[in-house]
């Protein structure tokens, strides 16, 4: 029975902690309370759940350093907490393990190209904190098939990763059209790619950004093409455990800070000069005016640490997914709202 | 034997007697241990439920009736993406049972053949069996499955260049496509076949009974009876054949459609499991055959039985008694090893239920508990059957 009592005691402590957090919010200057932040600080490392290997999002490079926009987001949070973007322990997770790893406390953040859906947000005991990449599900086929659209895939064998939203969208897409297909399902993305390469299936379906990345890893990329159809919306974003609003705020505002930095033209190279800027918006963002970082339980110049570690959102995008990467994905929907995209962050004030 | 103890309230001496009685003390300790284990189980259960609730993670078994929303490549029971998670469970379970049952049959046939070859006087046969056993049982099963799946079945040609096998069967990288037979009076034909099998069994028992008593029926009666048993299904088949439609698989835009497709994932798993388990069964059979005393062989020869008759009538029945208990172990191993299906994408119980369903619902505790319970039930049922078989064939002291 001791176990039971301690869990009840634990939840009481959590309730007290959240009350304290509420009180400190109103007193505005006092630091916010977050059990996760305390644990992370004590540990000296941020445990960050990432993909086992997906170019552009999270993949180890030839020296074993994790690269990609999801991995950089982990560094941004570590920089906000520790002033050091390298205090991250990357925990590679497959699709099946990811939610359990977050629920059980094995990782502090899940930054693993995970689609934000209602059921995941409400019934898994976790909270999504924003959208880092607006994606959609697409199909890749061999050019030799001469397909013009996904609608022509009636009767085809289609390779897909199990336990993903892709698997569900695929079933919906064919069911609504009254068309048939033969699913070929594997647990890992590299198995799915292997099956497609061997001709086990006619088409390979997943989020379009992943398909672009996977295409570069095919033996002869030019003989394959992406079909123009996007059959779903896949907003990818980081998630945290439910019940720690303070930590949820830190992760949410880290992403907003990166987006605001891009919007205000604060870059990795110019952030030091920008500290002396007379623009009040920049001054508030970088901590020259007000103490916005304190309310999160962080330093006043937390955004300076973030931008110095990984750059602003646009820099992260171009380095990992865009023109400076082999994937060369256009900003498209992931451009700032001021440039006709969907990337938008509430103001710091 | 200790004297019976009369329990009477306030009768102190009876309680003290009981406390010093080893049997009573044993029962009391067992009861305490059982209570402690039960309490631990209840505590774990309540604690898990409380913590899941505290973390806002959905729990309970309501999810089983929700719509699954995903498709499965091979389903023996009716299933579509509109079916429930419970139906997805049955799909996974039936696929596990299918590969388990077929695997046991194939591994047994192959294992017995190899085991007999291993002790045969034919040098070539026994050496070949030895090489097979030593190679197959010393290479990890997962590796063998990957070899069958990736190296063998994945190197087959694309549908456009498929191997055309006799009888309209086609083999390509997408699997084995066999013609689909649709009987208009399928159930009637099946019924006639079943009747004739029962008839043949009755005739065989009758003949055996008569032979045991040293008599036999007249040849003309026997001929007439067998003719009736054999002709009935043939006539039924001939009548049905005129209404039977055979759909040969034909190459559509992407795949061979129209026939029945046997997925390469299933073939790889079945072949891999059977070949691996057969090596162990061969060794068990060899041990069983060598365990029959040499005198039995000599006695059979002295009775004028030839080698084949001696094996079939004297050696094998006695060897079986030695073979069945370890054979049970191999059958249980095969069923449990079938969960390696997840590595090559065969939709078995672990892949469909403890994989996809777990991930789509996020209810890890419930899904894993159900999966464990199912494997336990399958294994216990197999063990019970084999124990029954063992009791039936065991040596009866006379």
Domain residues for B380? 85-157+262-393
Flag whether A18 is in a domain: no
* Yes or no, beta carbons of B69 and A185 under 8 Å apart: no
Q: Running DSSP on this structure, what letter comes out for residue A56?
A: T
Question: Nearest Cβ partner of B73 from A96, A182, A241?
Answer: A182
Q: Which residues from chain A sit within 8 angstroms of residue B356, using beta carbons?
A: 162-163, 167, 185
Q: CATH number, domain at B94? A: 1.10.3720.10
Residue-wise pLDDT tens digits, A135-160: 999 999 999 999 999 999 999 999 99
Q: Running DSSP on this structure, what letter comes out for residue B313?
A: I
On whether both A333 and A194 belong to a single domain, the answer is no
Flag whether A332 is in a domain: yes
* Yes or no, beta carbons of B70 and A187 under 8 Å apart: no
CA distance A344 to A334: 9
Flag whether A64 is in a domain: yes
Query: For residue B383, with 0-12 CB atoms within 10 Å meaning exposed, 13-18 middle and 19 or more buried, which class applies?
Result: middle
Flag whether B359 is in a domain: yes
On whether both A311 and A181 belong to a single domain, the answer is no
Q: Which of A209, A212, A45 is nearest to A132 (CA)?
A: A209
Q: Which of A55, A39, A59 is nearest to A47 (CA)?
A: A39
Q: Which residues from chain A sit within 8 angstroms of residue B359, using beta carbons?
A: 95-96, 99, 162-164
On whether both A129 and A159 belong to a single domain, the answer is no
Residue B56, token pair as written in the block: 């806002």
On whether both A95 and A214 belong to a single domain, the answer is no
CA dihedral B156, B159, B160, B162 (to 10 degrees): 50
- CA A330 to the chain's CA centroid: 18
On whether both B90 and B140 belong to a single domain, the answer is yes
| Model pLDDT, residue B359 | 85
Flag whether B41 is in a domain: yes
* Yes or no, beta carbons of B47 and A242 under 8 Å apart: no
Phi/psi at B181 (5° precision): -100, 125
Q: Which residues from chain A sit within 8 angstroms of residue B72, using beta carbons?
A: 183, 185
CA distances from B261 to A340, B169, B308 (A): 49, 10, 40
ipTM above 0.95 for this complex: no
Flag whether B235 is in a domain: no
For chain A, positions 135-154, list CB contacts with chain B under 8 A: 153-154
**Residue of chain A minimizing CA distance to B155:** A198
Residues of B in CB contact (< 8 Å) with A are 39, 43-44, 46-47, 50-52, 54-58, 69-73, 80-82, 150, 154-155, 158, 173-174, 252-255, 257, 261, 264, 342, 345, 347, 351, 355-356, 358-360, 362, 364
pLDDT tens track, chain B, 398 positions: 455 555 555 666 777 777 788 888 889 999 999 999 999 999 998 888 888 887 777 788 888 998 988 989 888 888 988 899 999 999 999 999 999 999 999 999 999 999 999 998 899 999 999 999 999 999 999 999 999 999 998 889 888 888 888 888 889 999 899 888 776 666 777 788 888 888 888 888 888 787 777 777 777 777 877 787 778 778 877 777 777 778 888 888 888 888 888 999 999 999 999 999 999 999 999 999 999 998 998 999 999 999 888 988 898 888 988 898 899 999 999 999 999 998 898 999 999 999 899 888 888 889 999 999 999 999 999 889 988 988 887 766 55
**Residue of chain B minimizing CA distance to A165:** B360
Flag whether A346 is in a domain: no
Would you say B265 and B351 are in contact if contact means Cβ atoms under 8 Å apart? no
Residue B39, token pair as written in the block: 């309490």
Strand B260-262 with B175-178, pairing = antiparallel
Rounded to the nearest 10 degrees, what angle do helices B364-393 and B85-118 cross at?
Answer: 40
On whether both B282 and B338 belong to a single domain, the answer is yes
CA distance A304 to A300: 9
On whether both A91 and A62 belong to a single domain, the answer is yes
Domain residues for A175? 137-232
On whether both B142 and B271 belong to a single domain, the answer is yes
Instruction: Locate the DSSP E strands across chain B.
Output: 163-164, 170-172, 175-178, 180-182, 245-247, 250-251, 256-257, 260-262
Residue that is last in its domain, among A232, A261, A285: A232
- Other residues' Cβ atoms within 10 Å of the Cβ of residue A135: 23
On whether both A187 and A125 belong to a single domain, the answer is no
**Residue of chain B minimizing CA distance to A167:** B70
Region at A239 (left for phi over 0; alpha for psi -120 to 50; beta for the rest): beta
On whether both B31 and B110 belong to a single domain, the answer is no
On whether both B153 and B26 belong to a single domain, the answer is no
Determine contact: A277 vs chain B, CB below 8 A: no
On whether both B23 and B90 belong to a single domain, the answer is no
On whether both A241 and A126 belong to a single domain, the answer is yes
On whether both A150 and A243 belong to a single domain, the answer is no
Determine contact: A172 vs chain B, CB below 8 A: yes
* Number of domains making up chain B: 2
* Yes or no, beta carbons of A124 and B362 under 8 Å apart: yes
Q: CATH number, domain at A66? A: 3.40.190.10
On whether both A126 and A171 belong to a single domain, the answer is no
* Number of domains making up chain A: 2
Residue that is last in its domain, among A173, A208, A232: A232
Residue that is last in its domain, among A168, A199, A232: A232
The most distant pair of C-alpha atoms in chain B lies apart, rounded to whole Å, by: 92
């Amino acid at each position: 029975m001791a176990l039971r009592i301690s869990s009840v005691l634990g939840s009481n402590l959590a309730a007290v902690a959240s009350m304290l957090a509420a009180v400190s919010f109103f007193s505005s200057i006092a630091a916010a309370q977050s059990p996760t932040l305390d644990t992370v600080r004590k540990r000296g490392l941020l445990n960050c759940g990432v993909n086992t290997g997906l170019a552009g999002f999270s993949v180890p490079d030839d020296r074993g350093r994790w690269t990609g926009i999801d991995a950089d987001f982990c560094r941004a949070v570590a920089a906000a907490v520790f002033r050091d973007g390298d205090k991250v322990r990357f925990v590679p997770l497959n699709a099946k393990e990811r939610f359990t790893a977050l629920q059980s406390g094995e990782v502090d953040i899940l930054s693993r190209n995970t689609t934000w859906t209602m059921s995941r947000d409400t019934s898994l005991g976790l909270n999504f904190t924003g959208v880092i990449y607006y994606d959609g599900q697409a199909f890749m086929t061999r050019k030799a098939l001469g397909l013009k659209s996904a609608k022509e895939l009636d009767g085809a064998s289609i390779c897909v990763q199990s336990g993903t939203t892709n698997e569900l969208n695929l079933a919906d897409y064919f069911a609504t059209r009254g068309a048939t297909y033969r699913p070929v399902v594997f647990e890992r993305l590299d198995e799915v790619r292997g099956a497609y390469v061997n001709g086990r299936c006619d088409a390979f379906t997943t989020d379009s950004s992943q398909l672009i990345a996977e295409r570069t890893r095919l033996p002869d990329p030019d003989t394959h093409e992406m079909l123009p159809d996007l059959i779903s919306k896949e907003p990818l974003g980081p998630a945290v455990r439910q019940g720690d609003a303070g930590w949820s705020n830190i992760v949410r505002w880290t992403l907003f800070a990166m987006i605001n930095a891009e919007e205000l033209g604060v870059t990795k190279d110019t952030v030091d000069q920008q500290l002396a800027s007379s623009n009040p918006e920049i001054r508030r963002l970088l901590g020259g005016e007000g103490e916005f970082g304190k309310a999160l339980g962080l330093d006043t110049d937390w955004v300076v640490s973030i931008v110095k570690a990984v750059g602003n959102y646009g820099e992260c995008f171009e380095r990992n997914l865009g023109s400076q990467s082999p994937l060369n994905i256009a900003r498209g929907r992931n451009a700032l709202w001021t440039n006709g995209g969907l990337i938008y962050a509430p103001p710091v004030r | 034997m200790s004297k019976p103890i009369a329990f009477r309230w306030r009768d102190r001496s009876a309680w003290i007697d009981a406390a010093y009685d080893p049997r009573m003390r044993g029962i009391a300790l067992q009861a305490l241990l059982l209570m402690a284990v039960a309490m631990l189980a209840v505590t774990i259960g309540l604690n898990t439920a409380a913590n899941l609730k505290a973390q806002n993670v959905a729990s309970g078994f309501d999810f089983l009736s929700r719509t699954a929303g995903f498709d499965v490549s091979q389903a023996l029971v009716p299933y579509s993406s509109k079916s429930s998670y419970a139906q997805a469970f049955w799909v996974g379970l039936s696929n596990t049972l299918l590969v388990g049952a077929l695997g046991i049959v194939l591994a047994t046939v192959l294992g017995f053949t190899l085991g007999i070859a291993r002790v045969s006087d034919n040098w070539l046969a026994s050496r070949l069996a030895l090489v097979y056993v030593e190679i197959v049982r010393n290479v990890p099963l997962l590796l063998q499955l990957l070899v069958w799946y990736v190296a063998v079945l994945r190197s087959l040609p694309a549908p456009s260049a498929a191997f055309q096998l006799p009888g309209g069967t086609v083999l390509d990288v997408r699997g084995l496509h066999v013609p689909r037979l649709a009987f208009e009076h399928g159930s009637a034909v099946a019924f006639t076949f079943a009747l004739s099998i029962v008839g043949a069994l009755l005739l065989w028992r009758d003949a055996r009974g008569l032979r045991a008593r040293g008599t036999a029926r007249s040849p003309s009666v026997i001929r007439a009876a067998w003719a009736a048993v054999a002709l009935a299904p043939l006539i039924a088949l001939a009548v049905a054949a005129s209404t039977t439609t055979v759909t040969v698989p034909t190459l559509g835009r992407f795949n061979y459609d129209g026939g029945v497709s046997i997925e390469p994932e299933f073939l790889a798993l079945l072949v891999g499991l059977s070949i691996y388990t057969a090596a162990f069964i061969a060794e068990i059979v060899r041990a069983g055959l060598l365990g029959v005393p040499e005198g039995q062989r000599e006695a059979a020869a002295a009775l004028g039985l030839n080698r084949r008759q001696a094996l079939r009538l004297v050696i094998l029945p006695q060897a079986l008694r030695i073979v069945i208990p370890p054979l049970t172990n191999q059958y249980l191993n095969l069923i449990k090893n079938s969960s390696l299906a997840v590595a090559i994408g065969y939709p078995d119980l672990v892949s469909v239920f403890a994989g996809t369903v777990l991930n789509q619902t996020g209810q890890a505790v419930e899904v894993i508990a159900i999966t464990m319970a199912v494997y336990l039930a399958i294994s216990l049922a197999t063990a019970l059957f084999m124990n029954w078989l063992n009791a039936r064939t065991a040596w009866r002291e006379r």
